[in-house]
Structure 1
Amino acid sequence: MNTTKLKREELLLYGVISKGDLSREEYFEKIKQSIDAGVTIIQLREKNMDTDSFIKLGKEVKKITDKAGIKLMINDNIEVCEEIDCEGVHIGQGDISPIEARKILKKDKIIGLSIQTREHLEESIDSGVDYYGIGAVFSTATKLDADSVSYSDLKALSLDSKIPVVAIGGINNSNILELEGTGIAGVAIVSAIYGAEDTYKQSKILLIWQKK
C-alpha cells in the first residue's frame, strides 16, 4: 500500500510555474506573490530550459520556498531536484517510472505522478509515489497533449486512491467549485495564477477552494 510524505493540506493550492517570457524579476515576484497569498506548494516546470540554467533558477526559487516553509517540486528533471536538494519531483506517464525514480532519489524525497486512468492507478500501487496529479479536468492551453478526465472518473480515482490526489488542467476561479465533492486534496494551477496580471489577487480568489 502506498504511503505519503505529504500532508493533504500541503497540496491545497499547488502552483505550477514556467519562466517562459517572464523577466527574472517578474518570475520571482510572481512566485513570492502566490506564496504570500496562500499557495501551499510550488512546482517548477521547465521543458525547454537547459539543465544548468534550470539548476541555477531552482536554487534561487528554493531560497524563497525555504524561507516561506513550503515544499518545492521539480517537473520531470531528477538531476535538477538532486542538485538543488529540493523536496521532490513530479513525473508523467512518459517519463522515468516512479520505481526507477525512487532508486535514484533519497528516501525522503517526494514523488508525484500524473495519472488519467484506473490502469495508471493500479500500476503505480507500491511504486513509492506520494501523490497523484489527475487531469486534465478542464481543457487547457498549457498542456495540449493531456487526456481529459471526467468529473466521475476524477471522483472514482480520488476515492480509491490511498494517497492524496490533486486535480490539474484548465482550473480557474470560474470552474474550481465544479470540483467540489470529488475527494481531491487540492488543485494544481498554472495559468490562472502565474498568467494573471495580479498573481496575488488571483491566488487569493482561488483559495475559495479552502472553504469547501
Structure 2
Amino acid sequence: MKPLDMTLYFITDSTCVPEDRFLPVVEAACKGGATIVQLREKDRSTREYLDLARSTHEITAKYGIPLIIDDRVDVAMAIGAEGVHVGQSDMPACDARRILGPEKIVGVTAKTVPQALEAYEQGADYLGCGAIYPTTTHVKTVITPVETLKDVVKAVPIPVNAIGGLNKDNIFVLKGSGIAGICVVSAIMKAADPELATRELKQAFSALNS
C-alpha cells in the first residue's frame, strides 16, 4: 500500500445537504484537494448505503483519492472501497484487518493513548483523534484536549489526524501537535463553495506547519 496523504480528510454527512447536492459536494471537495474521503452514513439501510457508496466511489476513483467507508466492512468489500474506519464501539481493527486483508486501509478512532496503542497493535494504518471542538454533526461529541492529542501522536508511529469542529479559522490550536492532517465535515459539507473551502482548509493546514 502506498503512503497515505492524510493532509485533508473529508468526512461526508448527507444530512447537511439536499440529496441532489450530496455528490456534487463530494466532487467539489475532490477538485479542491481532499486527500481522503470517508463516507459516513449512520441511518441508511444497507441497500441505500451500497448505492450511495458506489456513486461516491466513482467520483473518488476518478480523482485517485481513497474512499474509506465508516463502520461497514461489508459495504467496503462489496463496492471495492480502499478501506474502512471503525470506532471504539464498532468492529475491532484486528477483525477488520483480517477480513479486508493487508492491502486495504484500516483507520480507527482513538481518544486516549491506550486506545491508540491498541489500535496500532491491531493493525490500524491511521488514527482519528478528537473531538477538538464541539461539532454540529449527529455523532456524539466528547472533547479531547490538544495535550491528549499530542500524547497520542507521540505514542504511535502511524499517522494521527485531528477531528471535531475544525475549520480554517480555528485550527491554529493544533500548531506543534505533530498531526498528519485534519478531518473535516461541516466546514466543507455546509460551505457555499465546497471546492474553495477545501482549498482554504489545505492552505490553513500548510500554514500551520510552516
Could you say which TM-score interval applies, normalised by the shorter chain?
over 0.9
**8 Å Cα contact 2:72-2:84 kept in structure 1:** yes
Deviation string, structure 1 residues 151-174 (Cα, Å, up to 9, x no partner): 111111112211000100010121
Q: What does residue 30 of structure 2 align with?
A: 35
Q: What does residue 174 of structure 2 align with?
A: 179
Tell me whether 1:7 sits opposite 2:3 in the alignment: yes
1:26 paired residue among 21, 24, 36 = 21
Identical-pair percentage: 34
- Measure the CA separation in 1 of the matches of 2:156 and 2:77: 28
Scaled by the length of structure 1, what TM-score is found?
Answer: 0.92
Matched position secondary structure for 1:94: coil
Tell me whether 1:210 sits opposite 2:172 in the alignment: no
**8 Å Cα contact 2:66-2:81 kept in structure 1:** yes
Cα distance change on mapping 1:93 and 1:68 into 2, 3 Å:
same
Q: What does residue 128 of structure 2 align with?
A: 133
**8 Å Cα contact 1:159-1:182 kept in structure 2:** no
Deviating more after overlay: 162-171 vs 114-123: 114-123
Matched position secondary structure for 1:170: coil
Measured after TM superposition, the shift of residue 21 of structure 1 is 5.6
**8 Å Cα contact 2:113-2:155 kept in structure 1:** no
Matched position secondary structure for 2:15: coil
Q: Structure 2 matches for 1:57-96, cutoff 5 A?
A: 57-96=52-91
Scaled by the length of structure 2, what TM-score is found?
Answer: 0.93
Show structure 1 runs of 4+ deviating over 6 A: none
Deviating more after overlay: 101-110 vs 126-135: 101-110
Measured after TM superposition, the shift of residue 127 of structure 1 is 0.5
Deviating more after overlay: 186-195 vs 12-21: 12-21
Matched position secondary structure for 2:121: coil
**8 Å Cα contact 1:14-1:187 kept in structure 2:** yes
- Measure the CA separation in 2 of the matches of 1:6 and 1:43: 18
The aligned amino acid for 1:162 is P
Q: What does residue 120 of structure 1 align with?
A: 115
- Measure the CA separation in 2 of the matches of 1:79 and 1:166: 25
Tell me whether 1:196 sits opposite 2:202 in the alignment: no
Measured after TM superposition, the shift of residue 25 of structure 1 is 3.0
Which consecutive unaligned segments of at least 5 residues does structure 2 have? none
| Number of equivalenced pairs | 207
The aligned amino acid for 1:149 is T
**8 Å Cα contact 1:176-1:206 kept in structure 2:** no
Measured after TM superposition, the shift of residue 143 of structure 1 is 4.7
Measured after TM superposition, the shift of residue 177 of structure 1 is 2.0
Tell me whether 1:142 sits opposite 2:142 in the alignment: no
Which consecutive unaligned segments of at least 5 residues does structure 1 have? none
